[in-house]
Amino acid sequence: MWIDTHCHLDAPEFGPDHVLAEAARERAASLGVRLCVIPAVMRANFDTVRVLAHRLGDAYALGIHPLCVPQALESDLEALDHALTEHRTDPRLVAVGEIGLDFFVPALCEPTMRERQTWFYREQLKLARKHQLPVILHVRRSADALLKHLRALPVSGIGHAFNGSEQQAQAFLDLGFKLGFGGTATFEAAQKIRRLAASLPLSALVLETDSPDIPPQWLYTTAAERSEGKPQGVNTPAELPRIAHVVAGLRGISDAALSEASCANACAALPGLARLLSSLPSHA
């Protein structure tokens, strides 16, 4: 059994009516992916991810992504608060996310935009605390800033697509977080991430695809290859078992051992997943 703790099955790559998402999810289920977590990125897709999670039998999170902060309004936070309240009894709502900070995109690194990102991040941490939900964090060149505000407004959850240092990883673990690893770990050139995937405590790791983004090495095509007409492979939750096999190999453990640990870790980070799993038929 596997849990994909982060996949955007509502993305345009899966079609306007999500038929491709259904097909991808069926394929993943046939390979042992029992649950997926579908995070929102903006107010406009709060309902979309909720409906899709129910349609696919998966889980969802509601939040405003830092890349969407430039277009976001204060009223979007009010809408988020309202949605978290309205759906508080929905067993498929498992987190506030995807939220966080992005200090990689140049336009987001300007002082006013950094301040705006930080304000939205802190307000969403407050909402997570209010609604007693964990968070799913976007971490891109922002680990120290994220940690600073987590210490002031403590919550737990998952550091998605973690790419920080070993010291930063330990700081997140000390705050009760789990760290997400996915397609990047399949690239031999990603030495820092592969070292972390191999050396962090097994209790720290959760698995994810970030579908349709962060394709694993076997789906990736270079810019030169794309210019020659070779298409980029679309990442889906069906890639998770193969990604997991790479991570297990890096750690020198069996796929079964990684499956057991990563699923337990996901349920510890997002307790709603454990409740969902307990309600599923044994053959699901």
pLDDT digits (tens, 9 = 90+) for 14-29: 998 899 999 999 999 9
Residue that is written with structure tokens 């059994």 in the block: 1
Per-residue pLDDT of 150-175, as tens digits, reads 999 999 999 999 999 999 999 999 99
Asked if residue 283 has pLDDT above 60, the reply is no
Name the residue ranges covered by the structural domains of the chain. Answer: 2-279
* Amino acid, res. 250: L
Count of positions (residues) in the chain: 284
- Find out whether the peptide bond into 212 is cis, omega within 30 degrees of 0: yes
The one-letter amino acid code at 194 reads: R
Query: Cβ–Cβ contacts within 10 Å for residue 221, how many?
Result: 15
- The per-residue pLDDT for 223 is 79
**pLDDT-derived band of residue 222, with 50, 70 and 90 as boundaries?**
confident
pLDDT of residue 112: 96
The pLDDT, as a whole number, for residue 281 is 75
Residue 282 pLDDT class (50, 70, 90 cuts):
low
Q: Is the pLDDT of residue 146 over 80?
A: yes
Over residues 86-99, the mean pLDDT reads 98
- Read off the pLDDT band of 71 (50, 70, 90): very high
Q: Residue 271 burial by CB count (10 A; 0-12/13-18/19+): exposed, middle or buried?
A: middle
Q: What does the block give as tokens for 36?
A: 């997926």
Is the pLDDT at 56 greater than 50? The verdict is: yes
pLDDT band at 229 (very low <50, low <70, confident <90, very high): confident
Instruction: Tell me what percent of the residues of the chain surpass a pLDDT of 70.
Output: 99
Give the other-Cβ count within 10 Å of 43's Cβ. 21
Measuring CA to CA, how many Å separate 10 from each of 20, 22, 171, 213?
10, 10, 32, 12
Determine which of 45-49, 94-98, 191-195, 217-221 has the lowest per-residue pLDDT on average.
217-221
Confidence grade of residue 284 (pLDDT, cut at 50, 70, 90): very low
User: CA 262 to CA 252: how far, in whole Å?
Assistant: 15
- What class, spelled out in words, does domain 2-279 have in CATH? alpha beta
The fraction of the chain above a pLDDT of 90, given in percent, is: 92
pLDDT at 266 over 90: yes
